[in-house]
Structure 1
Amino acid sequence: MRENNTKQEILEQIARANTIQIAGHTNPDGDAIGACLAMGAALVAAGKKVTVLLEAYAPKYTVIPNGHLVKAAEGPADLFLALDCGDEGRLGQAAEWFHQAAYTINIDHHGSNTRYGQMNYVEGDASSTCEIVYGFLEGNYEIDRDMASGLYAGLIYDTGGFRHSSTSPETMRIAGELMKKGIPFTEIYNRFFDSRSFSELKIMGQALENAALFFDGKVVCATVTTEEIVRCHGTNKELDAIINYLNGVQGTAVACFLYEKTPTEVKASFRGKDGYDVCALAQKFGGGGHVKAAGCTIAAPIEKAKEMVLAEMEKML
C-alpha cells in the first residue's frame, strides 16, 4: 500500500492546477459535503476554476454554504481531488472524471482507504475529512465564515456532535477556531441532529418497528424496503439517522441497518461497541469505513442480504 504524501507535496500539486474537480462519496453526508464545498470555495478564492461533483443530497445539508459550486463537469480537469471517499468505486458517476483527470489526489480519514490517487493523504485517526481539510487550509488559504461553517458541519456530523471516540483535543481546537469566524453553530447542530421532515420521521418509525434482536441480544438489526419508504412518502436520502438510534439500544454490541436501493441491491450500515470491528465486517462485502462505524453495498435481495450479514456477525461474535 502506498505511503502518504506530505501536505507540502499535495499543496504544491494543487497550486500547479488551474481547473480542479472535487468529489466525495456517493450518497454524500455532512462530512463529504462540508469538505468538498469548503475546499472548493477556498480554491475558487485562490483563483482556481472549480467544479464540485456531488450527488443530490438531503435538504438538511443545505445549511452548508457554497452549494452553488455543485455542477456538472464540462470536461477533464487538470486535477481531481477525491475527499472522504475510501475507494474509487465509491465516487459513483464522478469516477468517470477521476479517470480522465491529468492528476488525482485522494484525501480521506477512513482507515480502509485503498490509496487510489496518484497522491494520497489518509489519516485514519482524524475525526473527519473536514478536520484534515482544515489542516491543509490553515495558514495556506484564507478561511471565511462560509468555509468555516462547512468544515464545522463535517466535524460535528462525523463525531455525532463531539460524542464519538474519534473526537480528539485537536478536533476541539479546530472547532474553536472555526467558531471564531462567527459561524451559526447552533443552527448547524440543530439541523443535523434535532430537525427532520415528517417523512423522515415516518420512515424511522417503520425501521424501528422492523428492528429485532439476535444472538442473545448482542445484535440489533433493522431493515426498510423501497415499498416502505414510498409508503412513508420519503426517499432513501432520509435514512442516515436510523443506525444511530439502533446503536443506542442497551446491551447490544453491534447495530445493523439495511435498506433496499433496488430489488437486488442493499445498502448496509454497521456500528460497533468497543472490541467489535465492524470495518472488518463491511470489508467482507467489499465495503469499509472505521472500526466502530462502517458500511457496504450487497448485491442481493434484502432478506438474503440480511441472512448473509447475520451469518458473518455470528462468526464475529
Structure 2
Amino acid sequence: MPTHFSRRSLLRGITAATAVATLATGLTACGGDSDAATTTDAAATGTVTVGQLSNRAAQQAELKVSEVKSISAELPESVRKSGKLVIGVGALPDGFPPLAYVGSDQKTLTGAEPDFGRLVAAVLGLQPELKNSTWENMFVGIDSGKVDVAFSNITDTEERKRKYDFASYRKDNVGFEVLKSSTWNFDGDYENLAGKTVAVDNGTNQEKILLEWQAKLKKEGKKLTVKHFASKNSTYLALTGGKIDAYFAANPGVAYHITQTAKSPNPTRSAGTFSGAGATLQGLIAATTKKDSGIAKPVTDAINHLIKNGQYAKWLAAWNLSNEAVEKAEVNPPGLPLDNS
C-alpha cells in the first residue's frame, strides 16, 4: 500500500476491526511508546510452533525447521557469532491481529509476523530474539544496529530503499468480507461491484481505491454505493443485517475477523483480494534490514527454503493468510514508486 496510507490506515483497518478482541485479550499489556521487554524463545532450533496463544486467530501447528548451513554461512560474521537473530516488531501500543499482538496469556508476543521471524531464524541456525516497540522505534532499532531484521507488515517502497534492504515474503493486499451465505465474489474485476453497497473506513488506502472504482463505474452509467460507519461494530451489524453487501478492508484484518465469526450465527468469508498498490503493481510485504548490512540476502534465501519445503504454506494457512502467498522471495523487488510512496 502507499506509505502515506499503508501503515496508519492498515493499523486503523486492522486494530479498529478487532477493538473488542484487543480489550478482551489485554493487548495494551504491551506498555507505552518505549521498547517492550525483549523476549528470547527458549525452543531449540528444529521445531517452531506457530499460532500459539492466538485467541482463536490461528490453528496451532508445530513445524520442523532445521538450520541450512549453506544459507547461514551467508550471514555477516558478527550475526553468526552472536548466535541470535534480533527481530524487530512494531506492535506497540495496541498490536494488530492477526499479524502481531499480545497473546491470550496477556504477555507473550504472538501473530503471523513474529512466527515467521522465528521460522527464518531456525533456517539460519539462530536463536530468535523479539524486540517489540512502537512503529517508529522499530526503525530506530534497525538504524542503530540493535535490530537485525524487522518482520512487521512493512510495505516495500522505493523511498524506503534509500535506507533499507528488503526480502519480500507476502502480498500486501486489501480484501472484501461478505457473509458466508453470500454468493458474490469480486474476482479481481471492479465491474462486479456494479449495483453493490460496500462499506469502507474513512481515510484508508482501501477507501481511495474504492472511490476510484466508484468514479469509473459512474462514467459507465453504473452505480456503486459506498457507506461509512462510525464504528467497526456498526459496520458488522450492517453486514449481518443485509444493509451492505460487503466490507472492503485490509486483508489481514478480514482474515482475522473471519476466524472470530466462524462459530457465530453469521459467519463471514473472503470474497476476493486486490493489491494494495493498485492495478499496475502487486504490493509486497518485506523483511527489512539496514541497507548494505548483508542480512537481506540470507534472509531471502531462508524464506525461499521455507517456500520450497512447504513450511511457508503451512505458516500462512495457520493464520488464514494463504491468499497472500508469494511464489518466491526476492531481494529488493520493485516497490511502490517514489510518486506513490
| TM-score normalised according to structure 1 size | 0.24
Higher strand proportion (structure 1 or 2): 2
Question: Which structure carries more helix by proportion?
Answer: 1
Give the structure-2-normalised TM-score: 0.22
Greater RCO, CA 8 A, separation 6+: 2
